[in-house]
Copies of this chain bind each other. A is one copy, B any other.
Amino acid sequence: MADEIDEKLLEQVKQQGEIVRKLKAAKANNVQIAEEVTKLLELKAQLGEKNGEAPSKLLLKTPKGTRDYGPEQMALRLTVLDKIVAVFKKHGAETIDTPIFERKEVLTGKYGEDSKLIYDLKDQGGEILSLRYDLTVPFARYLAMGKISSIKRYHIAKVYRRDNPSTTRGRYREFYQCDFDIAGQYDPMIPDAECIRIISEALQSLDVGPYTIRLNHRLLLDGIFAACGVPSNKFRAVCSAIDKLDKNSWSEVKKEIIEEKGLDESSTDKIGIYVSRFGGIELISELREDSELMKYESATKGLESMELLYKYCNLLQVTDKVIFDLSLARGLDYYTGVIFEAILTGDDVGVGSVAGGGRYDNLVGMFDSKHKSIPCVGLSLGVERIFNVLETKLNKEGVKTRTTEVEVFVATAQKNLHEERMKLLSILWDAGVKAEQSYKRNVKLLAQLQYCEESGIPLVIIIGEGELARGELTLRDVMSRTEISIPRAHLIEEIRKRL
């Protein structure tokens, strides 16, 4: 039996090795290669354990479902995050930060079925802690704890979910969330519409291609469920099944609703008809003609809200980006009003949401001893997916991202001039010029120039014995490979002219 497993594992290791080799040969996306390498390492580790190998030989890998980010990946990530922060700041947001872990009881009862994915810390004496699962629950805890009644804040930080990374391609156990929320007692739909405008601005500024923002309203969904005969205690369960419609077919979702959530077939079929509907503002008047649905106050209220939202979307110039989609449900329990989700609609991109959010008016109240709540609406940009889309695009276009901002490289043409390089660097740094040298005393000029071409450094200063004697320096333009002599005294001026 043990041998059988080993054979199977060995075969898996072989196959996985083949996958990695093929991807590397095809110069595939780095992320994809890294993912497959991780799988390979894990299989090898399993094989090692089964063979009774001592764990003395350190397995060099990052924890399952996590990865390192090298300079190229970080350069892209920081560019993306900078653009997003610029949009958030354009809308007047402040930023806050909360600890990476919370007292476990803070997270309890907030995520429904997904609570099993929370990472717990070991009990080392003291409090029982868990890693944060999202940024919204810590935000609500922050508001309640500080008795903060209004704030417009963004928060970009990592969150942790013990998802099975192998089954969900491109999803990691450690990933960035990028949230913008407006908390406070305000007039209906004014902050909500701004959130939709912000998603649109962010996606526009990131240049990820065409996109659509799907809209729906939790009250309207509740009205629909009621009209279809769903008992109210099953609303959230049915909702989380409907949420899977972006990945699964209706027949699969129907099966789940009937078999797992225990709803009868006729009610389920009625729901199926509703959630297949989508369109623009005209859908509001169409639904108003549905007298059965209009018996339910939550439905009429939901439609009223949607009408107001459409009006404001129009003022904020985003109507052409939105679609009213009754199949949008959102998985999380805590939404109470409008919900939204942005998807990319270009050719090359797989389906999947790149932003989402909605109104959650009762979450803060769960933390307040008197259940005093603060109405909130917010959005979360799916930056990991955005990084992926952009990385693939850059790879395809053969664009190389610079990983440093060095403006000037200080080179020497002969041996034993490294002290002259250091003197010059000191002057450049004092003047605020981004500059570097080789950390080797003696290095061939050609090697220094090649390094500059590869790293995209625009200028080189070359120090040679002749130049030193004349009080001059050679300034080389890396792209054009042209060189000129300049007096040392004019160094900074000449560099500034060219940057």
**Interface set of A (CB-CB < 8 Å, partner B):** 55, 57-64, 66-71, 74-75, 77-78, 89-103, 105-106, 119-124, 126-127, 129, 131, 141-142, 144-146, 151-153, 158, 160, 162, 174, 182, 184, 186-187, 190-191, 193-194, 197, 201, 311-312, 315-317, 367, 369, 403-406, 418-419, 422-423, 425-426, 429-430, 432-436, 439-441
Contact = CB atoms under 8 A, between A and B. Distances in A.
Contacts of A182: 439
A463 to B, nearest CB: 13
B423 A315 contact: yes
A246 to B, nearest CB: 28
A96 B92 CA distance: 30
A99 B434 contact: no
A63 B153 contact: no
A58 B371 CA distance: 12
**Could you say which of A90, A145, A174 has the most chain B C-beta atoms within 10 Å of its C-beta?**
A90
Given A119-B122, A124-B162, A187-B440, 10 more contacts: A58-B105, A58-B106, A89-B434, A90-B435, A92-B436, A122-B122, A190-B418, A190-B422, A312-B422, A316-B422
A121 B124 contact: no
Contacts of A162: 124
5 contacts: A60-B145, A66-B101, A68-B96, A152-B436, A186-B439
Contacts of A187: 418, 439-441
B369 A57 contact: yes
A388 B182 CA distance: 29
B61 A94 contact: no
Q: What are the 8 closest A-B residue pairs judged by CB atoms, nearest first?
A: A92-B436, A71-B94, A186-B439, A66-B99, A120-B122, A315-B422, A69-B97, A60-B145
A63 B127 contact: yes
A87 to B, nearest CB: 9
Contact of A63 (B68, B77, B103): B103
Contacts of A99: 62-63, 66-68, 174
A400 to B, nearest CB: 14
B120 A94 contact: no
Identical copies in the complex: 2
A82 to B, nearest CB: 11
A93 B435 CA distance: 10
Nearest to A150: B439
A190 B194 CA distance: 53
Contacts of A95: 71, 74-75, 78
B122 A63 contact: no
Contacts of A441: 187, 190
A71 B66 CA distance: 30
A316 to B, nearest CB: 5
B184 A439 contact: yes
Contacts of A152: 436
Contacts of A122: 119-123
A69 B100 CA distance: 12
Given A145-B61, A441-B190, A96 B74 contact: yes
B404 A94 contact: yes
B439 A60 contact: no
A102 B96 CA distance: 26
Contacts of A439: 182, 184, 186-187, 190-191, 194
Contacts of A55: 105
Given A67-B99, A429-B201, A439-B191, A89 B404 contact: yes
Nearest to A58: B105
A63 B191 contact: no
B89 A316 contact: no
Nearest to A69: B97
A66 B406 CA distance: 37
A422 B362 CA distance: 27
A119 B124 contact: yes
A423 B318 CA distance: 12
A405 B405 CA distance: 26
A96 B67 contact: no
Contacts of A64: 126-127
A234 B158 CA distance: 42
A94 B74 contact: yes
